[in-house]
C-alpha cells in the first residue's frame, strides 16, 4: 500500500492557498518524507500583511469576553485532541512521546492563561493632583491593541512556544502572522485549524511557511507590522533587531544554563532531577542544564551518581512509550556537536559517557573541560553536560556569570545566605533556588539578559507588551 504524503498549503486570509513550490518535510528520526510544505514567498507575506491589516479593525472591535471565549475554546479543543497533537510533535520534531504529551498539557494551560488575560487586561487611574498643574483633572489609561503581530518561532516547542505568542496577541486584540520553524510546520497548521473552529475572524491568524531569511525577513521589515515576537537563536535574533526598524521586538534567545550544587546538599535527592534537566528532549531546550558546578567536597560522588543515572536513559524510537532519547533535530546538529566534543577532548576534557550513533547523540557527560571550549561557552542544544568542581561559593557564582548568556540559573543550597547571595548576584532573568534552571511554568515572567534576549514572556507580560498604553485626561477646570 502506498503511503499518502500530506501536502500543506499556506494558511492565508482564512483559507488554504496553494503555493507554486513545496518542500519535503522529513522525520528527524527516520529521514523519511512525512509531508510537503508550501514554500511561501515575499509576495505571500505581503498578501498576509494586507489581510492582517483588514483583520486589525475586526479584532480591535472584538470585546474581551469574545476574545477570551475563542482562546478558551482553543484550549478545550486541544484538550480533546491532545493525543493527536502529541503525535505530531513526535513525528516532526522527534520529541519522545511522553515528553510531547507534557508539552501539550502545558499548551492547553497557556491558552487558558491567555483567556484569563483577555478578561483582565486593564489600565489604571492616575492621581493627577499629585502635581499642582494636574489639579482638577481626572486621568486614566487604557490598553489598546498594538496592531499586527509577527510571530517567528523555533522548532523545539512548536505548540507551547507558539501559544506564548498567539495567546497573548489574540488576548490583546491583535491579528497575528505566524512564521513557524522550517522543521515544525505541522503543529502550526494544526493549531490554526483549532482557532478557525473556535471562531477566530478570518485573517486574524495566518500561517506562512518557508525560508526564514525570506518570509521571516519580509515580516520583520514591513512597517505595517507593529511588533515582532521572536524565539530562536541569538544569531537570528540580532539580525531581526537590526532589520525591524521602529517596531517593537521581543527576543527569547539561547543559553548555556548553569546549576550550582553547594556544600552540604543531599546529592541523592537531586540526581534524577538534574539528569532530567540536562537531557530532556535531548538538551534541545533553551533552559537545558548545560553547566553544573559542584562543591569539591561532593564532586566525585556527584559525578559518579550522575553518570550512573544518565546511563539508565533509554535511547530509541520517539514514538515508543519508554524512550527518553531520540534523534537530534538535524544531521547537521549531530555533526556540529560531535566536533565540539572532539575540540573539548583535544583541550584535555574527559567524556565519561556518551557517543554518537547515526542520528542519535547519546547523553554525554564531560569533566575537566576548559572553560573556553564550545561545550562550555556556547549553547550546545544537544544532550551534553559539563561538570566542574568549585571551592568557594563566590567562585561558583562568578563561573555561572562567566557567560554570554543569562536566561535562568539554579542553585541547590542549605545556606540561607548563599540563596540570597545567588538571587542577588546571578546575571539571569530567573533564579531557581533549590531547583534546576530548567524549571518553567507558563504564567511566570520568563526571559533573559545579555545574549539570551530582550523583553519577557509569560502570558500576562507578553499580553501587556502587545498593547499600546493610552492616556485619557479630563480637564474639569472650565
Contacting residues toward ligand NAD, per CB under 6 A = 152-157, 161, 179, 181-182, 212-213, 216-217, 220, 231-233, 236, 239-240, 252-254, 286, 379, 381, 407, 453
Distance CA(448)–CA(279), nearest Å, equals 21
When the beta carbons of 72 and 107 are compared against ligand NAD, the nearer one is 107
Q: Which residues contact 108 (CB under 8 A, 6 or more apart)?
A: 75, 78, 79, 82
Q: How far is the CB of 141 from ligand NAD (least distance, A)?
A: 29
When the beta carbons of 62 and 161 are compared against ligand NAD, the nearer one is 161
Distance CA(119)–CA(113), nearest Å, equals 10
When the beta carbons of 265 and 382 are compared against ligand NAD, the nearer one is 382
Q: Catalytic residue among 103, 252, 457, 465, which?
A: 252
What is the C-alpha R_g of the chain? 24
> Residue 108 is inside which H or E element, if any?
helix 97-120
Q: How far is the CB of 1 from ligand NAD (least distance, A)?
A: 34
Cβ atoms within 10 Å of 339's Cβ, excluding its own: 10
Q: Which residue has the cell 521586538?
A: 249
Is 377 marked active-site? Answer: no
Do 72 and 302 contact (CB within 8 A), yes or no? Answer: no
When the beta carbons of 170 and 236 are compared against ligand NAD, the nearer one is 236
Instruction: Give, to the nearest 10 degrees, the angle between helix 97-120 and helix 160-171.
Output: 10
- How would DSSP label each residue in 315-377? BS-TTSTT-SB---S-HHHHHHHHHHHHHHHHTT-EEEEEEEETTEEEEEEEES--TTSHHHH
When the beta carbons of 23 and 76 are compared against ligand NAD, the nearer one is 23
Q: By Cβ distance, which residue is nearest to ligand NAD? A: 212
Do 379 and 254 contact (CB within 8 A), yes or no? Answer: yes
Cβ atoms within 10 Å of 372's Cβ, excluding its own: 9
Do 418 and 411 contact (CB within 8 A), yes or no? Answer: yes
Which three cell numbers mark 178?
505566524
Q: How far is the CB of 443 from ligand NAD (least distance, A)?
A: 15
Cross-strand pairs, 17: 10
Q: Catalytic residue among 56, 92, 286, 376, which?
A: 286
The phi-psi region of residue 168 (left if phi > 0; otherwise alpha if psi is between -120 and 50; otherwise beta) is alpha
Q: How far is the CB of 195 from ligand NAD (least distance, A)?
A: 19
When the beta carbons of 155 and 302 are compared against ligand NAD, the nearer one is 155
Cross-strand pairs, 450: 405
Q: How far is the CB of 469 from ligand NAD (least distance, A)?
A: 25
Is 473 marked active-site? Answer: no
How far out from the chain centre does Cα 105 lie? 15
When the beta carbons of 225 and 270 are compared against ligand NAD, the nearer one is 225
When the beta carbons of 73 and 183 are compared against ligand NAD, the nearer one is 183
Which three cell numbers mark 99?
515528553
Q: How far is the CB of 407 from ligand NAD (least distance, A)?
A: 6
When the beta carbons of 115 and 328 are compared against ligand NAD, the nearer one is 328
Q: How far is the CB of 463 from ligand NAD (least distance, A)?
A: 16
Do 28 and 327 contact (CB within 8 A), yes or no? Answer: yes
Do 354 and 363 contact (CB within 8 A), yes or no? Answer: yes
Which has the closest alpha carbon to 361: 279, 286, 288? 279
Q: How far is the CB of 103 from ligand NAD (least distance, A)?
A: 12
- Residue 277: HSE in the Cβ half-sphere, 13 Å Cα cutoff: 27
Q: How far is the CB of 185 from ligand NAD (least distance, A)?
A: 9
Tell me the catalytic residues: 252, 286
Amino acid at each position: 500500500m502506498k503511503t499518502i504524503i500530506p501536502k500543506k498549503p499556506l494558511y492565508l486570509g482564512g483559507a488554504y492557498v496553494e503555493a507554486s513550490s513545496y518542500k519535503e518535510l522529513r522525520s528527524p528520526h527516520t529521514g523519511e518524507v512525512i509531508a510537503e510544505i508550501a514554500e511561501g514567498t515575499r509576495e505571500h507575506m505581503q498578501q498576509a500583511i494586507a489581510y492582517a491589516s483588514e483583520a486589525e479593525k475586526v479584532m480591535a472591535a472584538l470585546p474581551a469576553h469574545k476574545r477570551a471565549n475563542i482562546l478558551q475554546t482553543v484550549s478545550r479543543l486541544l484538550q480533546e485532541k491532545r493525543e493527536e497533537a502529541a503525535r505530531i510533535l513526535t513525528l516532526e520534531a522527534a520529541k519522545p512521546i511522553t515528553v510531547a504529551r507534557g508539552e501539550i498539557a502545558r499548551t492547553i494551560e497557556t491558552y487558558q492563561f491567555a483567556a484569563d488575560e483577555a478578561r483582565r487586561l486593564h489600565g489604571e487611574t492616575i492621581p493627577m493632583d499629585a502635581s499642582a498643574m494636574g489639579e482638577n483633572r481626572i486621568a486614566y489609561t487604557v490598553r489598546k491593541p498594538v496592531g499586527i503581530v509577527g510571530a517567528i518561532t523555533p522548532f523545539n516547542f512548536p505548540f507551547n512556544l507558539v501559544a506564548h505568542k498567539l495567546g497573548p496577541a489574540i488576548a490583546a486584540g491583535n491579528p497575528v502572522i505566524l512564521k513557524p520553524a522550517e522543521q515544525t510546520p505541522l503543529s502550526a497548521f494544526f493549531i490554526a485549524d483549532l482557532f478557525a473552529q473556535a471562531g477566530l475572524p478570518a485573517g486574524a491568524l495566518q500561517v506562512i511557511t518557508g525560508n526564514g531569511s525570506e518570509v521571516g525577513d519580509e515580516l520583520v521589515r514591513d512597517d505595517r507590522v507593529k511588533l515582532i515576537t521572536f524565539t530562536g537563536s541569538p544569531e537570528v535574533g540580532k539580525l531581526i533587531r537590526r532589520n525591524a526598524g521602529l517596531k517593537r521586538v521581543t527576543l527569547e534567545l539561547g543559553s548555556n544554563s548553569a546549576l550550582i550544587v553547594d556544600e552540604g546538599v543531599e546529592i541523592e535527592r537531586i540526581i534524577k532531577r538534574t539528569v532530567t534537566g540536562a537531557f530532556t528532549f535531548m538538551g534541545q531546550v533553551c533552559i537545558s542544564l548545560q553547566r553544573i558546578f559542584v562543591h569539591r567536597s561532593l564532586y566525585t560522588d556527584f559525578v559518579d551518581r550522575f553518570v550512573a543515572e544518565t546511563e539508565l536513559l533509554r535511547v530509541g524510537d520517539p514514538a515508543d512509550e519508554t524512550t527518553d532519547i531520540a534523534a537530534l533535530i538535524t544531521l547537521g546538529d549531530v555533526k556540529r556537536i560531535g566536533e565540539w566534543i572532539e575540540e573539548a577532548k583535544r583541550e584535555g576534557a574527559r567524556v565519561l559517557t556518551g557517543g554518537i550513533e547515526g542520528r542519535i547523540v547519546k547523553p554525554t557527560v564531560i569533566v575537566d573541560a576548559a572553560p573556553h571550549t564550545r561545550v562550555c561557552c556556547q549553547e550546545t542544544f544537544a544532550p551534553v553536560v559539563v561538570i566542574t568542581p568549585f571551592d568557594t561559593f563566590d567562585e561558583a557564582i562568578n563561573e555561572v556569570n562567566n557567560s554570554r548568556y543569562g536566561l535562568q540559573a539554579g542553585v541547590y543550597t542549605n545556606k540561607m545566605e548563599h540563596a540570597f547571595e545567588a538571587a542577588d548576584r546571578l546575571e539571569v532573568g530567573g533564579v531557581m533556588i533549590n531547583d534546576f534552571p530548567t524549571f518553567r511554568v507558563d504564567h511566570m515572567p520568563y526571559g533573559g539578559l545579555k545574549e539570551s534576549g530582550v523583553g519577557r514572556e509569560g502570558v500576562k507580560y507578553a499580553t501587556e507588551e502587545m498593547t499600546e498604553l493610552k492616556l485619557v485626561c479630563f480637564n474639569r477646570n472650565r
